[in-house]
Structure 1
């Protein structure tokens, strides 16, 4: 019996050591499958002299196909790929970047007290589909008392957009130099933010804060002033940013609503919102849905996870040794499988970015769903018929009423909303 248990334990360790992407179940949506490019990963540190802050970046990129390098390990709170520990990704460290194609650049901004490599699944997936992904470690202050928590959060409010703007500008400046020289296009950039990172992304995109709003009045002065409605920064969204993805962006919900409808109307960049309809941090109806409704001058799409809270982005507790319930509550969802969330995020983010940055109409068509609620889709079969593992497609007469890119019966618990510029949904 001891030998059997020991064997089972070794088998479990072997399974846990396999990269998460390699164990994906065969129910992933169509675009969530790994792309054609091998993926490399490196660390780069940028120092912002204006803020006197050094920001580590973990950068994933398409690599040549000759192999080499070492497997990337992602360790909690540790920027860049590590030699051991954490969880093992599919990317390889110490491999060159594929140059000459000038891939779109994605800048990722994490949530409060998160870390860059905690979003490796999405980053590796995007890189395999032809994107260079730079994820910022914002190095949020870790609070130890209620007073230091207020100081920590005030720092985050003041620095998220500033960090994003600095990294975008600096990477654009370095596009022709260094280890990533000529691998990305500084005129074709997407900004992705989660939670407070999404808050920063909306500001960076041009949505100035309401100077009469409760958050503005509580924030440190004069540090918050550059981000107000009418301030110069509002009209100076980075020129290269052509798409925004906001995962559960914080700041829309009372009592600390950060924007007025007027400020949100200044956002014109195509934006994909992703949120759980039970979000108890950013809020749904009076939170993210309110943001989606009032960003009236942007082409916007909103993916909704029914019965999900706030943790609809990130790798979850992967790589955290012996996670307590506090970690599970902070990073996981009670209803949704983590691998399912990750695969759905990859599918829709790739569809959105391919449509917006690569002008790929075929992949953009995955956003044209026949029903707002996936459960209302129809893919009828006769008695005894089966479609096997076939994906629904717009040109498939039998599946035309079902969400494209999903297998029959498997688009469930999701909503997809769209509003064109110029009006409310």
Structure 2
């Protein structure tokens, strides 16, 4: 760590340097990116909404053994959507947000245009709901949200109250509210599609065809929302007082009633909870929704084996995939590239903020491009019923075992088994597994 800080300090002093030359762009596609990482055919618009979920349990002000306190829970969401630009409008815009310390304001650059007119000609579009980690914010996966909107989705990323960089509070709020926030936002987007006062989103959103995407605690929320009920031990434990988590417990009548058939697919980056005893085989067996898991093989926060791999293995009644970044840690594929400000020391943090985004082995942009590629294929397959995407998902399990074999016209020969969409020599360090539901695998 001392050498890293010395290198960063030297780089800052000796401009120009790569850390000072960054423009905090979230739309970078490397020349060696896999095929489906590229932006799609649509221009992208973006807008913010402030929502209020009435009469929610205020777990932070409900004392153990005491009376339950309720409040109206505020949520800010960001919406990316296919847009139609005016002749004088050029793609591009800025996102204003916060660094990991919750105080340093930063600006991100992307392709979306603030409040651009929605492209209703090609709608309605499938809905995607995105949840960040603890802590995080609605822009933490903006490299993915913007990219997917360009491919014909309405993408809604949530600022989960009490779990953002700028309003971080006790962990119990995150545990209780992740799934509840996701379901509330789904209902709000369905209502917006039918009765948007501004008329911008009327008829634009197909909430009956919804996908969920979550990272870390967002992934925890995704697993719980699609049917992975919490264990009795975690409900009775010290995580959340007054057994408030029972509302999300496996077998609980209220929890079973909350299962939403509008959710047709899910993506979980490094979902947390297995090593903390929140999941077991019984609870996970209730998942029926197709899931694409993403993990780093040395994840020391959510764990890998044991950890994310156990969630994948035990979701036995779901069609599921597990993409593994060999030797990557918890940040595999999910966070945006580290903003330039993140390389500077922050007095309130014990570590350089860049560590929130980066990986010791993998380049951020490369991981992001790979995630964009596979999430694009998975969502197109399960939300748009595009069977041609199976060719990008049914692969030689270990990328290193794939054979590159093409003719003089760059056409694959019969013995070509390299991962589809990846240029030669670029799939190293990756593994993609697939399992069918038990009923289909007999």
**Alignment TM class, shorter chain as reference:** 0.7 to 0.9
Deviations 1:58-102 (A, max 9, x none): 111111144527843223339xxxxx9512111111211111411
Question: What TM-score comes out, normalization by structure 2 length?
Answer: 0.83
Residue 352 of structure 1: which of 378, 383, 388 is its match?
378
Contact 2:23 2:340 in 1 (8 A): no
Contact 2:19 2:340 in 1 (8 A): no
Shift of 1:353: 0.2
Shift of 1:328: 2.0
Residue 412 of structure 1: which of 413, 428, 435 is its match?
428
Q: For residues 73 and 410 of structure 1, what CA distance do their matches in structure 2 show? A: 31
- Secondary structure, aligned partner of 1:301: strand
User: Matches of residues 133-212 of structure 1 in structure 2 within 5 Å?
Assistant: 133-140=155-162, 152-178=170-196, 179-212=200-233
Q: For residues 120 and 212 of structure 1, what CA distance do their matches in structure 2 show? A: 35
Alpha-carbon spacing, 1:190–1:319, altered in 2? closer, same or farther (3 Å): farther
Q: For residues 102 and 339 of structure 1, what CA distance do their matches in structure 2 show? A: 31
Alpha-carbon spacing, 1:363–1:320, altered in 2? closer, same or farther (3 Å): farther
Alpha-carbon spacing, 1:213–1:155, altered in 2? closer, same or farther (3 Å): closer
Cα RMSD after superposing both structures: 2.9
- Secondary structure, aligned partner of 1:114: coil
User: Matches of residues 271-420 of structure 1 in structure 2 within 5 Å?
Assistant: 271-312=291-332, 313-318=334-339, 320=341, 322-324=343-345, 325-369=351-395, 371-380=396-405, 396-397=412-413, 400-420=416-436
Q: For residues 102 and 399 of structure 1, what CA distance do their matches in structure 2 show? A: 41
Please name the residue that 1:117 is paired with: 139
Find out whether 1:29 has 2:29 as its counterpart. no
Shift of 1:341: 0.5
Please name the residue that 1:49 is paired with: 54
- Secondary structure, aligned partner of 1:309: coil
Deviations 1:265-315 (A, max 9, x none): 011100000000100000001110000000011100110000000012110
Q: For residues 92 and 417 of structure 2, what CA distance do their matches in structure 1 show? A: 42
Contact 1:296 1:424 in 2 (8 A): no
Find out whether 1:126 has 2:131 as its counterpart. no
Deviations 1:348-378 (A, max 9, x none): 0000000000011112320011x21101111
- Secondary structure, aligned partner of 1:284: coil
Residue 17 of structure 1: which of 14, 18, 23 is its match?
23
Please name the residue that 1:81 is paired with: none
Alpha-carbon spacing, 1:356–1:215, altered in 2? closer, same or farther (3 Å): farther
Find out whether 1:266 has 2:286 as its counterpart. yes
Please name the residue that 1:249 is paired with: 271
Gaps of 5+ in 2: 1-13, 57-71, 100-104, 346-350
Residue 256 of structure 2: which of 221, 230, 234 is its match?
234
Q: For residues 82 and 24 of structure 2, what CA distance do their matches in structure 1 show? A: 21
Higher mean C-alpha deviation, range 279-288 or range 312-321: 312-321
Find out whether 1:38 has 2:62 as its counterpart. no
Gaps of 5+ in 1: 1-7, 79-83
Question: What TM-score comes out, normalization by structure 1 length?
Answer: 0.86
Q: How many residues align?
A: 397
Alpha-carbon spacing, 1:85–1:213, altered in 2? closer, same or farther (3 Å): closer
